[in-house]
Structure 1
Amino acid sequence: MKRIVLALTLFSLIFTLGCQKAYYSAMEKVGYDKREILSDRVENARESQQDAKEQFANALERYKSVVNFDGGELEEKYEILNSEYETSEAMAEDVRDRIESVEDVAEALFEEWADEITQYTSSKLRRASQQKLSATKSRYNKLIRAMKKASAKMDPVLHAFKDQVLYLKHNLNAKAIASLEGELTTIQSNVGTLIKEMEKSIAEADAFIKTLE
């Protein structure tokens, strides 16, 4: 059984890598090289992080409104909070997917670049290209660290939101609202940290895109 699972995993990996190479090859044939794809994907990841930042800030405001509950249907308050949690979770997943797509094309670009450097007959041009590759990789590494750091800050917020949503679902009463209020300070702090890291990551993405232009 383990051999079958391993074989399927390897097949899936080979198939995926093959599709990726075919995709990049097809795009290059129409004049769209890996550098441009990387630039576009970084921009998409940047936009995804911006959207997620706004969503988490909005979810926090919704959370506050439930904490300040002063009458009405608790079921409705639960639905509002649950909807915000689910939207936040979906946006977090999109951010992670976007980061993975950036990593994928960056790896392909740098591998191709390094291989092509060996093809130079001019040592001067080879050194210049190697220096440019090293500088680009350094800026990229700074970017991807910032993106992943910001992405990781989403988890504590999501976990806290999920806990509170579940508790409210199973305890639609004043005691449950009091529990939400008790967690508000921690959630506010976590969202504040998340937003700061998102803003840093977005700034890094803007800077990196400019170096590729």
Structure 2
Amino acid sequence: MAKFWLVLLLLLSGCQQAYYSTMEKVGVHKRDILVDRVENAQKSQREAQEQFSSALEQFSALVKYDGGDLQRQYKLTQAEYDACEKSALDVKNRIDAIEQVAEALFKEWQQELKEYSNQSLKRDSERKLSQTRRQYTSLLVTMRQAEATMQPVLSSLKDNALYLKHNLNAQAIGALKGEFGSIERDISRLLAEMNKAIAESERFLTTLKQ
């Protein structure tokens, strides 16, 4: 099994290198790809903010239920959870993609330092590499922290959807009312962490585009 995962990792790594090589042949370098992926991650984070806010609105409507079709309320609640889960996965995948190209970029940058004959230019490039790495590390930490805030919300939304599925009655709504405050706090924290990550992304993009 260990050999299987090692082979798979090597194949994926080879695919990435082939992709970067192909893109460079048409004038698109790793730095350009990194910019695109950070911008894509920003977009995913904003979409996740909207989706989790929508889920909170649906849960608020659910706990205010005062007669009507409970089966429909369950379906809406489940749909919001499914959409949130999809958004969370998209955010994770976008951050993973940033990590892949950033590691490749920094490795290439470090190797190319050996090719300088002008020591002044080499020192300046080393300084910029160090600065960019520090800012990237800060960005990645902030993005992962924002990503992590989605998990407790997803767990709560899933629990509530499951509970409602098997208890389609007014008593179930009463039981879920006590969960609303906690979910509201968790989603507020999620939105704040996402805003931090988006702001950090803007700072990092400014550095890359200089």
Q: Report the Cα distance in structure 2 between the residues aligned to 1:180 and 1:194, rounded to whole angstroms.
A: 21
* Structure 1 position 65, deviation (Å): 0.3
Tell me whether 1:60 sits opposite 2:56 in the alignment: yes
User: 3-state DSSP class of the match of 2:66?
Assistant: coil
1:167 is aligned to 163
State the Cα deviation string for residues 65-86 of structure 1 (Å, max 9, x = none).
Answer: 0000011111100000000000
TM-score by length of 1: 0.97
Q: Report the Cα distance in structure 2 between the residues aligned to 1:175 and 1:16, rounded to whole angstroms.
A: 51
Tell me whether 1:32 sits opposite 2:42 in the alignment: no
User: 3-state DSSP class of the match of 1:186?
Assistant: helix
The one-letter code matched in structure 2 to 1:24 is Y
State the Cα deviation string for residues 93-117 of structure 1 (Å, max 9, x = none).
Answer: 0000000000000000000000001
Tell me whether 1:149 sits opposite 2:145 in the alignment: yes
State the Cα deviation string for residues 106-129 of structure 1 (Å, max 9, x = none).
Answer: 000000000001111121111100
User: 3-state DSSP class of the match of 2:27?
Assistant: coil
2:120 is aligned to 124
TM-score by length of 2: 0.98
Could you list the structure 1 runs, at least 4 aligned residues long, displaced by more than 3 angstroms after superposition: none
Alignment match of 2:88 (pick from 89, 92, 107):
92
Q: Report the Cα distance in structure 2 between the residues aligned to 1:7 and 1:134, rounded to whole angstroms.
A: 35
* Structure 1 position 185, deviation (Å): 0.4
2:133 is aligned to 137
Q: Report the Cα distance in structure 1 between the residues aligned to 2:175 and 2:143, rounded to whole angstroms.
A: 32
Q: Alignment RMSD, CA only? A: 0.6
* Structure 1 position 29, deviation (Å): 0.4
1:45 is aligned to 41
The one-letter code matched in structure 1 to 2:73 is K
Q: Report the Cα distance in structure 2 between the residues aligned to 1:19 and 1:101, rounded to whole angstroms.
A: 13
Identify unmatched segments of 5+ residues in structure 1.
none
* Structure 1 position 11, deviation (Å): 1.1
User: 3-state DSSP class of the match of 1:118?
Assistant: helix
The one-letter code matched in structure 1 to 2:187 is V
Alignment match of 1:177 (pick from 155, 169, 173):
173
Query: Identity over the aligned pairs, expressed in percent?
Result: 48
1:16 is aligned to 12
Q: Report the Cα distance in structure 1 between the residues aligned to 2:159 and 2:38, rounded to whole angstroms.
A: 32
User: 3-state DSSP class of the match of 1:69?
Assistant: coil
Tell me whether 1:107 sits opposite 2:103 in the alignment: yes
* Structure 1 position 6, deviation (Å): 1.6
Q: Report the Cα distance in structure 1 between the residues aligned to 2:120 and 2:138, rounded to whole angstroms.
A: 27
Bigger shift: residues 162-171 or 173-182: 173-182
1:191 is aligned to 187
1:75 is aligned to 71
Identify unmatched segments of 5+ residues in structure 2.
none
User: 3-state DSSP class of the match of 2:115?
Assistant: coil
